[in-house]
């Protein structure tokens, strides 16, 4: 059951009732790094920063790259590696989210670069990793060496290194995520029109 009253079925995410508002609400209230940070920092804000730092055609997929966590929480990378069944559930949810909310243009563009999972396209993954390291350095300063094992693309690091983490309250992070979705949607429609006319 979601806060909106809609039913989300983990065994049938494609047939479940959920909206962008449900995703934003959940992401705004889930803390990154299993909550082991020096202050609250939401998955919604993380996705917002990733979207700001990828090419426009990837922006909405970047907003959605952790959207499954609105329904199943933020599971840390080390734990996820130990739970193959979790990854299967997560993949089904991601597929349902991408097919419901990404346009055909976005899905085809991203799939051409990363056919297995449109929400994990190379530019998104590179910025996601860079943001993970930046966030960990700021929000978990007592464990600096641990994060050096995450591969960080130098170009992605240059993109994100000046990012200011707001650590917004859940309702502000939720609202910022929804505004970004709308803003990127209009810009992607324009881009799609330009490419069709060319």
Residues in the chain, overall count: 198
Count of domains for the chain: 1
Give the model confidence (pLDDT) of 87-145 as tens digits.
Answer: 899 989 998 998 899 877 666 655 544 555 555 678 899 999 999 999 999 999 888 77
CATH number at residue 102: 1.10.3210.10
Chain-centre distance for alpha carbon 8: 19
Give the model confidence (pLDDT) of 62-80 as tens digits.
Answer: 999 999 999 999 998 889 8
| DSSP per residue, 26-48 | HHHHPBGGGG-SSS--BHHHHHH
Give the model confidence (pLDDT) of 153-190 as tens digits.
Answer: 999 999 999 999 999 999 999 999 999 999 998 776 66
Which residue range forms the structural domain that includes residue 44?
Answer: 20-160+167-197
Task: Report yes or no on 182 lying in a domain.
Answer: yes
């Amino acid at each position: 059951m979601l806060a909106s009253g809609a039913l989300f079925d983990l065994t049938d995410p494609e047939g479940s009732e959920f909206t962008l508002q449900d995703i934003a609400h959940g992401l705004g209230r889930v803390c990154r790094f299993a909550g082991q940070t020096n202050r609250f920092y939401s998955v919604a804000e993380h996705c917002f920063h990733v979207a700001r730092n990828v090419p426009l055609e990837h922006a909405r997929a970047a907003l959605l790259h952790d959207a499954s966590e609105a329904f199943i929480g933020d599971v840390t990378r080390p734990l996820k590696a130990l739970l193959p069944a979790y990854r299967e559930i997560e993949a089904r949810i991601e597929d349902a989210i991408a097919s419901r909310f990404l346009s055909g243009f976005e899905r085809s563009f991203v799939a051409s670069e990363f056919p297995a999972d449109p929400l994990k396209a190379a530019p998104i993954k590179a910025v996601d990793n860079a943001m993970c390291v930046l966030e960990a350095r700021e929000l978990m300063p007592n464990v600096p060496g641990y994060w050096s094992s995450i591969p960080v693309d130098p170009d992605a690091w240059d993109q994100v290194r000046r990012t200011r983490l707001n650590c917004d309250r859940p309702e502000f992070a939720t609202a910022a995520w929804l505004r970004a979705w709308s803003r990127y949607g209009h810009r992607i429609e324009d881009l799609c029109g330009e490419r069709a006319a060319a």
